[in-house]
Amino acid sequence: MKDHAIFLLDPAGTIVSWNAGAERVAGFKNDEVIGQNFALFYPRNEILGGRPQQHLDMARGIGFAEETGWRMKRSGSRFWAYSVITALRADDGTMRGFAMVARDLSENRRVMELETEGKRINEFIAMLAHELRNPLAPIRNAVAVLEREEGSPQIIWCRQMIGRQVDHLAHLVDDLLDVSRITSGKILLERVRLDLKAVVASTVESMRPTLESGGHFLEMHAPGEEVPFTGDPIRLSQLLVNLLTNAGKYTPPGGKIAVRLERAGGRLYIRVTDNGIGMTRDLIENAFDMFVQGDRALDRAEGGLGIGLTLVKRIAAMHGGTVTATSAGPGQGSEFVVSLPMPENAIAPVQAVKVTSQSLDPRSILVVDAAESLSLLLSVSGHKLRTAHDGPQALELALEEAPDVILLDIGLPGMSGYEVARRMREIPGLASTRLVAMTGYGQQSDKAAAAEVGFDAYLVKPVEYTELVDTIESLGTRKPLAVLRQQ
């Protein structure tokens, strides 16, 4: 046997035989270990602690001793091993020695450690995103309040700048969560029949102000007719946003960025081309790896985490597609090409356009968290507002007022938002009150827990005011949980 180290010991623990597997696992040749005590396979600290002799004594007493731990190779390096020492006795019970079998489990341990580390990283990213979203929400609400007030050119400039930076931070947080979830297989696509041309066009138009503010010229080319496809419109839009963001980041002001949607050879292609700083061969080979970024100035004025292209690759793969990068070299621009399978006999549906409301009939609203900025934003919009900062206070005010809507944070001190919602749903007088969860937690398990305790809607911070208005308007009658932001 070559996968297991197997050798015999005399009653004192001296090695008397040695198989080929033992030589492969531990590195010692036969003549180097015969006559040596088997303790030479143990780390020095275990030898000093008497561990080898303890194993022999245990095997002698109960017939065997097994353990998983570190063992030593001839080179002085360690390997993680599972070993069993079995006592060998004659028919009359006389001790003849021991048989020892050891198996190298170093690779198994390495895989387990990687899996554990990956789980810890994912948990850290989820918590980090939550902590980042909490300060983003009040900042965004404050910007919305400022937008309703007149001000000097300096004030207007400040609120516009703050708004752009909040959007940028929110995008980074979403990317962090998405790459973690996609990597761990926690995101499922919402596959629908769609017009890919419409998705690409709306995404390009949404990115146009950002790119043009950076001095870039953006153009789009697409077939005149609809381009049927089956996929997730939100994720496809995210894919293109990341490609356009990447192009803008690495193209100096005054540059040109082009988006082309094409059909060819039974495939659909989305091409994003720029005349920016280009890419080296090494960068092209690693462009889609996690945290890889091209060279930029030391001030890192454009920011970024180096995960946008990783998301592009994963989203394309989830749609049965691929993405490639090409460049003629530094200073000669780049092209990213997403290739997607063309559906057979697909008929694109008519795209429904959602009209976002900017106003809302006055409601009585109870806000349960520390969001003074959200309360201010709703109050200046004409609503009757009450606020509570913990669960017991929220229950007391809800009983007094029976508000139309309760905006309830999940991460409350002392009593969680889930428990508050559960208790509210047991109160007959609040049967018609709508419960809206507002939280930085966006995992599917969080949303499932919210649905179970009776929330009517679930919003992930930071929440746009228009999104909040649309959510409240949609809750005319009680219905099962609606997830208002895809994660």
Residue 77, domain member (yes or no): yes
DSSP 3-state assignment of 337? strand
Please tell me the distance from the alpha carbon of residue 398 to that of residue 417, in angstroms, as a whole number.
14
- Summarised one tens digit per residue, pLDDT across range 85-142 is 999 999 888 899 999 998 888 888 888 877 777 677 666 666 666 667 667 767 777 7
* pLDDT over 80 (residue 150): no
Residue 357, domain member (yes or no): no
DSSP run (H or E) holding 401: helix 391-401
Please tell me the distance from the alpha carbon of residue 219 to that of residue 208, in angstroms, as a whole number.
9
With contact defined as beta carbons under 8 Å apart, do 1 and 21 qualify?
yes
Please tell me the distance from the alpha carbon of residue 350 to that of residue 352, in angstroms, as a whole number.
6
Examine the domain organization and report whether 469 and 432 are in the same domain: yes
How distant is the alpha carbon of residue 33 from its chain centre? Answer: 51
- Summarised one tens digit per residue, pLDDT across range 345-402 is 444 343 443 433 344 567 788 888 745 555 555 665 567 778 888 888 889 989 888 8
Query: How high is the pLDDT of residue 400?
Result: 87
DSSP secondary structure letters along 181-195: HHHTT------EEEE
Provide CB contacts within 8 A for 356, sequence distance 6+: 466, 469, 470
Examine the domain organization and report whether 401 and 468 are in the same domain: yes
Residue 358, domain member (yes or no): no
Query: How high is the pLDDT of residue 87?
Result: 92
- Comparing CA positions, the residue from 229, 241, 236, 245 lying closest to residue 194 is 229
Last residue of a domain, one of 183, 205, 230: 183
Examine the domain organization and report whether 137 and 38 are in the same domain: no
- Which tokens hold the place of 403? 């508000």
* pLDDT over 80 (residue 465): no
Please tell me the distance from the alpha carbon of residue 371 to that of residue 141, in angstroms, as a whole number.
9
Examine the domain organization and report whether 90 and 169 are in the same domain: no
Examine the domain organization and report whether 169 and 46 are in the same domain: no
Residue 287, domain member (yes or no): yes
Please tell me the distance from the alpha carbon of residue 392 to that of residue 412, in angstroms, as a whole number.
10
With contact defined as beta carbons under 8 Å apart, do 440 and 134 qualify?
yes
Examine the domain organization and report whether 479 and 390 are in the same domain: yes
Examine the domain organization and report whether 175 and 207 are in the same domain: no
Domain that residue 91 falls in: 4-104
Examine the domain organization and report whether 169 and 233 are in the same domain: no
Residue 14, domain member (yes or no): yes
**Sheet bearing 384-388, strands edge to edge:** 384-388, 364-368, 405-408, 434-439, 457-460, 482-483
Please tell me the distance from the alpha carbon of residue 69 to that of residue 171, in angstroms, as a whole number.
45
In order of 148, 151, 152, 156, 372, the CA distances from 145 in angstroms are 5, 12, 15, 12, 12
With contact defined as beta carbons under 8 Å apart, do 65 and 55 qualify?
yes
Last residue of a domain, one of 104, 130, 164: 104
Examine the domain organization and report whether 209 and 321 are in the same domain: yes
DSSP run (H or E) holding 451: helix 444-453
Residue bearing the bigger pLDDT, 144 or 487: 144
Query: How high is the pLDDT of residue 142?
Result: 74
Residue 111, domain member (yes or no): no
- Which tokens hold the place of 147? 């937008």
Query: How high is the pLDDT of residue 146?
Result: 73
Q: What's the structural domain count of the chain?
A: 4
Share of the chain above pLDDT 70, in %: 78
User: What pTM value is reported for the model?
Assistant: 0.47
Question: Angle at the Cα of 353 (from 375 to 455), degrees rounded to 5?
Answer: 40
Give the residue-averaged pLDDT of 27-49: 87
Question: Is the bond preceding 330 in cis, omega lying within 30 degrees of 0?
Answer: no
Q: What CATH number corresponds to the domain at position 276?
A: 3.30.565.10
Query: How high is the pLDDT of residue 188?
Result: 66
- Which tokens hold the place of 163? 């708004």
Q: What CATH number corresponds to the domain at position 165?
A: 1.10.287
- Summarised one tens digit per residue, pLDDT across range 225-282 is 999 999 988 889 889 988 998 899 889 998 999 999 999 888 999 999 999 999 888 8
How does strand 405-408 pair with strand 457-460? unpaired
Share of the chain above pLDDT 90, in %: 20
Q: What CATH number corresponds to the domain at position 411?
A: 3.40.50.2300
- Which tokens hold the place of 265? 């050879």
Please tell me the distance from the alpha carbon of residue 478 to that of residue 457, in angstroms, as a whole number.
10
- Summarised one tens digit per residue, pLDDT across range 181-207 is 665 555 667 788 889 999 999 889 888
DSSP run (H or E) holding 245: helix 233-249
Examine the domain organization and report whether 240 and 328 are in the same domain: yes
Last residue of a domain, one of 104, 135, 167: 104
| Greatest distance between any 2 Cα atoms in the chain | 103
Q: Which amino acid is at 256?
A: K
Number of neighbouring beta carbons within 10 Å of residue 300: 9
- Which tokens hold the place of 279? 């890419």
Residue 284, domain member (yes or no): yes
Give the residue-averaged pLDDT of 49-76: 89
Examine the domain organization and report whether 336 and 196 are in the same domain: yes
Query: How high is the pLDDT of residue 297?
Result: 39
Q: What CATH number corresponds to the domain at position 93?
A: 3.30.450.20
Examine the domain organization and report whether 65 and 174 are in the same domain: no
Residue 355, domain member (yes or no): no
